[in-house]
């Protein structure tokens, strides 16, 4: 892993654990085992660093949302595929997603958080379009926040020993049944 990649990974880990405001460039330098000058060489300021650290998650989210908007969520199968893709995104980008969800108050200061907020609104609108009432939209918000918390807090919840594929399947079941109103086929469920 390059120094730049180490800096980006340390940023995600620290900001997810401590929060953006409580994470300094020096903290990031220490965690990535380089000097603060090296961090600043690669990234002029923390906002630039966060923008780049969140970019892969934002690209993946944009792909998911655009695909689901084009495909729709009219059938049970489309809903299950969407739930599975959403969970895969959340598992893959757990730290970035946690940062986005826990820092909505910084959307004006960090462009990546603003873009994430726009994508989350599109995602919620998509789910809302194919739901029956406001309860479904509320359920969606609770489930997304819950899945994100679960992934970042695996040690606290004592689920860190679950194989990732099993955890992903269990979370897909939760999202599929609680939000999308479509159960997974019996053999693909828990």
In SS3 terms, 78-142 reads as: HHHHHHHHHHHHHHHCHHHHHHHHHCHHHCCCCHHHHHHHHHHHHHHHHHHHCCCCHHHHHHHHH
- Quote the pLDDT of residue 183: 52
Q: Dump pLDDT digits (tens) for 122-139.
A: 988 888 887 777 777 777
Hey, what CATH topology would domain 1-44 get? Arc Repressor Mutant, subunit A (1.10.10)
Tokens 């729709």 locate to 72
- Quote the pLDDT of residue 128: 80
Q: Dump pLDDT digits (tens) for 25-68.
A: 999 999 999 999 999 999 999 999 999 999 999 999 999 999 99
| Sequence ranges of the domains in the chain | 1-44, 53-188
Q: What percent of the chain has pLDDT over 70?
A: 91
Other C-beta atoms closer than 10 Å to the C-beta of 7 total: 25
């Amino acid at each position: 892993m390059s120094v730049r990649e180490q800096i980006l990974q340390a940023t995600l880990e620290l900001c997810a654990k401590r929060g953006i405001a409580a994470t300094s460039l020096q903290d990031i330098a220490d965690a990535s085992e380089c000097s603060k000058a090296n961090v600043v060489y690669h990234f002029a300021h923390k906002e630039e660093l966060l923008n780049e650290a969140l970019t892969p998650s934002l690209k993946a989210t944009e792909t998911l949302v655009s695909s689901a908007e084009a495909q729709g969520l009219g059938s049970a199968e489309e809903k299950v595929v969407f739930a599975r893709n959403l969970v895969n995104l959340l598992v893959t980008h757990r730290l970035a997603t946690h940062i986005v969800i826990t820092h909505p108050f910084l959307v004006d200061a960090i462009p990546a958080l603003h873009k994430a907020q726009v994508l989350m609104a599109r995602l919620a609108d998509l789910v809302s379009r194919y739901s029956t009432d406001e309860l479904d939209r509320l359920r969606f918000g609770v489930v997304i926040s819950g899945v994100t918390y679960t992934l970042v807090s695996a040690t606290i919840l004592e689920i860190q020993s679950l194989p990732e594929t099993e955890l992903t399947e269990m979370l897909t079941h939760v999202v599929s049944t609680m939000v999308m109103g479509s159960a997974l086929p019996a053999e693909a469920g828990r």
